[in-house]
Structure 1
Amino acid sequence: MNGNWLRVSPDELERARTDLDWAHGIATAAQDDNSERWTATDKAWNGLDFLLDRLGFDVPLVLGAESFVELPDVEPDSEEMFDFLENLEDDWGYGPPSYLTPGQVAAAAAQLAGLTEDDLIRGVDPQELNRAEVYPGGWERPGELERVAHYLPDVRSFFGAAAKDGDAVICWLD
């Protein structure tokens, strides 16, 4: 399971809201071309999300803040939710993508700008992540927190460039 982001213009975001198949096509092309519009955090996505949340990060930049699909009002891990997600026609991977608006991207970039790799993991007990069942697990192994932290410079650069260009960001797991 890998975390992914795709930068899109506001016009592209509007089109994606009504045509996720089209958006999936540009996401796939960006991945295939290793475009600067796309980046990923591989298996570190959940660790990064946990660590940013732990720091009080305002924007849920890993999983997105806005949904393309209206989810049913049921428990996230319920059978009803699994049935709903299974019936979605979607090639995105683990559920439908979500997104961050240009304003949310700018807010995320501003918060990331002053954050260092050391800030991200300072004082973190790996058992916190294990207790929270943060994917992929095994946080007590030497170097696991640092593996997540090493993504921060690229994340900071990606969101900084997206904010500078006024882009939105589509977020998904595959």
Structure 2
Amino acid sequence: MNGNWLRVSPDELEHARTDLEWAHELATTEKDGESPRWTGTGKAWNGLDFLLDRLGFEDSLVLGAENFVEFPDAEPDSEEMFDFLENLEHDWGYGPPAYLTPTQVAVAASRLAPLTEDDLIRDVDQAELNRAEIYPGTWERPGELLWVAHFLPGVKSFFAAAAKDGDAVICWLD
């Protein structure tokens, strides 16, 4: 399971809202072409999300803040939710994508800018991540927090570029 981000213009975001198939094709093309509009966090997505949440980030930069589709009012691991996800038109991996608006991206970029790798993991007890069942669940190994933290410079650059260009960001797990 890997975290992914795709920078899109406001017009592309509007197009994606009405045509997820088009958005999926765009995301696949940009990811496969290793475009600078795409980046990912690999399996560190959940750890990064946990650490940013711990620092008070209001919107999930990893999972997005806005959904493209309306989810049923069902428990995450329920049969109803599995049926819903299985019947989606477009296979983005682990559920449909979500997004951050250009305003949310700009706020995220400004919050990320002064953050250091040390800030991200300072005073974090790795057992906390195990207790919270954060994927991939290997937090007892030495160096796992440093592994997540090493993604921060790339995340900062990606969000700074997106904010500079007024882009939104589509977020998904595959």
Asked if 1:62 is matched to 2:56, the reply is: no
Matched residue SS, 2:58? coil
Matched residue SS, 2:24? helix
Matched residue SS, 1:5? strand
Query: Is the 1:50–1:134 contact (alpha carbons within 8 Å) kept by the matching residues of 2?
Result: yes
Count of residues paired in the alignment: 174
Asked if 1:167 is matched to 2:167, the reply is: yes
User: Which runs of 5 or more structure 2 residues have no equivalent in the other structure?
Assistant: none
Deviation track 1:90-145 (CA, whole Å, cap 9, x = no partner) reads 22100000000000000100110111000000110000000000000110101100
2:5 corresponding residue in structure 1:
5
Q: TM-score, normalised by structure 2?
A: 0.98
User: C-alpha separation between the residues in 2 aligned to 1:93 and 1:83?
Assistant: 15
User: C-alpha separation between the residues in 1 aligned to 2:30 and 2:129?
Assistant: 32
Matched residue SS, 1:63? coil
1:13 Cα deviation from its structure 2 partner: 0.3
Matched residue SS, 1:7? strand
1:102 corresponding residue in structure 2:
102
1:140 corresponding residue in structure 2:
140
Q: Identical aligned pairs, as a percentage?
A: 79
Query: Is the 1:59–1:107 contact (alpha carbons within 8 Å) kept by the matching residues of 2?
Result: no
Matched residue SS, 2:7? strand
Query: Is the 1:58–1:108 contact (alpha carbons within 8 Å) kept by the matching residues of 2?
Result: no
User: C-alpha separation between the residues in 2 aligned to 1:137 and 1:27?
Assistant: 28
User: C-alpha separation between the residues in 2 aligned to 1:155 and 1:36?
Assistant: 12
Over aligned residue pairs, what C-alpha RMSD do you find?
0.7
User: C-alpha separation between the residues in 1 aligned to 2:79 and 2:24?
Assistant: 26
Runs of 4+ in 1 over 4 A off after TM superposition: none
Which amino acid counterpart does residue 85 of structure 1 have in structure 2? L
Deviates more, 1:145-154 or 1:81-90: 81-90
Deviates more, 1:74-83 or 1:35-44: 74-83
Which amino acid counterpart does residue 43 of structure 2 have in structure 1? K
Q: TM-score, normalised by structure 1?
A: 0.98
